[in-house]
Structure 1
Amino acid sequence: MNNESLHIYGPLFSPFVKTVILVCEEKGLNYTAGLTIKGEEVPFKSEQHLKLHPAGKVPILFHNDFMLCETVAICRYLDQVFPHTPMQPEDIYERALHDQWCSLLAGEFILPLIHNYLLEFAFPKGENGQVRMDKVKEAEPLLLNTLTKLNNELETGKTFGQSIFTIADALIIPILAYLHGLPHGAEHLKQFSYLQDYITKMLNQPSCVKLLK
């Protein structure tokens, strides 16, 4: 382990960067993270960044001389290379369902929430840096629809918050923690009992206490 070099390129506020950090924390891995590569600053969306990821996305993992993009691929790779503290189900069918939800979370669920809802709070574009509440209102149907689907899945007891902390958990909890910390988001979460219980449980996970509280 001491000879391993793990670096996560990306801004620390990114929920996807936080996902990879949570995986490293759960596995007890030594890592560095931030907008540097080999000790040199590489600005987000810069020419150098775009050479590493054509879409200019984060995170990017550097493991010794190996480079890998895309959050879910990075998490699965780390789970295979460092198999202690497994973060995927062993059963083939349970793992397939877990993979299915990882794909759904990383795409259909998380990205629209970030772009249409959370970014308005994180980087307000209204007059004098105010949150544009009209834009927030426009995004509320998407938010509530997503929360309903997540709450329904939690009710089944098949995917999230099981006996092990999984990659799926690491994908969704940074977003839910951010929502939970917003008065506007917390008010909506009150409608979803399974989600509220899940958030409480996850935020007591040692890795989440360290990173998300």
Structure 2
Amino acid sequence: MPDALRLTGYGPSVYTWVVRLALAELGADYTYVEVDPFAEDGRAELPPLHPFGRVPVLAHGDFTIWETAAILDYIDAEIAGGRMTPVAPQARARMRQVIGIVDAYGYWPMVRQVFANRVFRELDGAPVDEAEIAAGMERAAPVLTALEAIAAEGLVLDAVRVTLADCHLVPMLTYFAKAPEGALALKRCPALGTWLAAMHARPTISNTMPDLGAEMTGET
């Protein structure tokens, strides 16, 4: 690859972690630039890179791309010739489905409602909104049911061949499970729980896991 990769992100961001995890799984060399979307400098620095002022953003030479799923597609194709994308149509479709489920239905209740309130707010000394946690758990229930069925099916999420779906889902469920309510809900999902435990045995997870001592928003 003639041009260097440059990832702009925010350390605690779950979506920044998704990209860093994929890059680690691919063994990619890249430059990481930390930008705080909530600091004055960050708010000024991001709009030229991302029209909505969010992270992560990937630059490869003079090509810049944002939106996490698109970034993952690009680096997998560019770095590894699609190694993390299944060839079989059914497995490839399931991979895309997992990513779609996570983005459309999983991120908000699991991360923003449950994790951010139960874990992040407590770390920050802020009041916890129990009603918001309860609402998040209710919304997360059908997401877990859908993901459990996919993990049990075995086309993807088998912790043997890591796909883009694994990279997209591990950070979400890891943050969710840091809340006691999330951990308990995952215990009722044996296939998903087995997959997550196996993924956590991979050094790429511990090597890229964020420091949670900072704010958790401003993501895409």
**Could you state the TM-score of these two structures normalised by the residue count of structure 1?**
0.84
| Among candidates 127, 134, 138, match of residue 137 of structure 1 | 134
Please name the residue that 1:116 is paired with: 113
Unaligned runs of 5+ in 2: 211-220
Deviations 1:29-56 (A, max 9, x none): 11232435xxxx9844x14312322222
Please name the residue that 2:53 is paired with: 56
Please name the residue that 1:12 is paired with: 11
Runs of 4+ deviating beyond 6 Å? none
Q: Structure 2 vs 1, CA of residues 122 and 33 (structure 1 numbering), >3 Å: closer, same or farther? A: farther
The answer to whether the 8 Å contact 2:9/2:16 transfers is: yes
Once superposed, what is the RMSD of the aligned Cα atoms?
2.6
| Among candidates 182, 200, 203, match of residue 200 of structure 2 | 203
Name the amino acid aligned to 1:75.
L
Name the amino acid aligned to 2:137.
E
Deviation at 1:98, TM superposition (A): 2.0
Moved more, 7-16 or 68-77: 7-16
Name the amino acid aligned to 1:64.
G
| Among candidates 163, 166, 170, match of residue 167 of structure 2 | 170
The answer to whether the 8 Å contact 1:12/1:34 transfers is: no
Deviation at 1:59, TM superposition (A): 0.8
Between the aligned partners of 1:72 and 1:170, the Cα distance in structure 2 is: 10
Deviation at 1:155, TM superposition (A): 1.4
Deviation at 1:124, TM superposition (A): 2.1
The 5-angstrom pairing of residues 1-213 of structure 1 reads 4-36=3-35, 43-44=41-42, 46-83=43-80, 86-124=83-121, 129-161=126-158, 163-212=160-209
Q: Structure 2 vs 1, CA of residues 85 and 42 (structure 1 numbering), >3 Å: closer, same or farther? A: farther
Deviation at 1:121, TM superposition (A): 3.2
The answer to whether the 8 Å contact 1:124/1:132 transfers is: no
**Secondary structure, aligned partner of 2:121:** coil
Unaligned runs of 5+ in 1: none
For these two proteins, the number of residue pairs brought into alignment is 206
Between the aligned partners of 1:93 and 1:144, the Cα distance in structure 2 is: 25
Moved more, 101-110 or 52-61: 101-110
Name the amino acid aligned to 1:193.
P
The answer to whether the 8 Å contact 1:203/1:212 transfers is: no
Name the structure, 1 or 2, with higher relative contact order (CA <8 Å, separation 6+).
Answer: 2
Moved more, 17-26 or 174-183: 174-183
Deviation at 1:132, TM superposition (A): 2.2
Q: Structure 2 vs 1, CA of residues 106 and 62 (structure 1 numbering), >3 Å: closer, same or farther? A: same
The answer to whether the 8 Å contact 2:85/2:92 transfers is: yes
Q: Structure 2 vs 1, CA of residues 164 and 42 (structure 1 numbering), >3 Å: closer, same or farther? A: farther
Between the aligned partners of 2:148 and 2:204, the Cα distance in structure 1 is: 23
Deviations 1:94-143 (A, max 9, x none): 32332233223222222443232222235428x95132223212322112
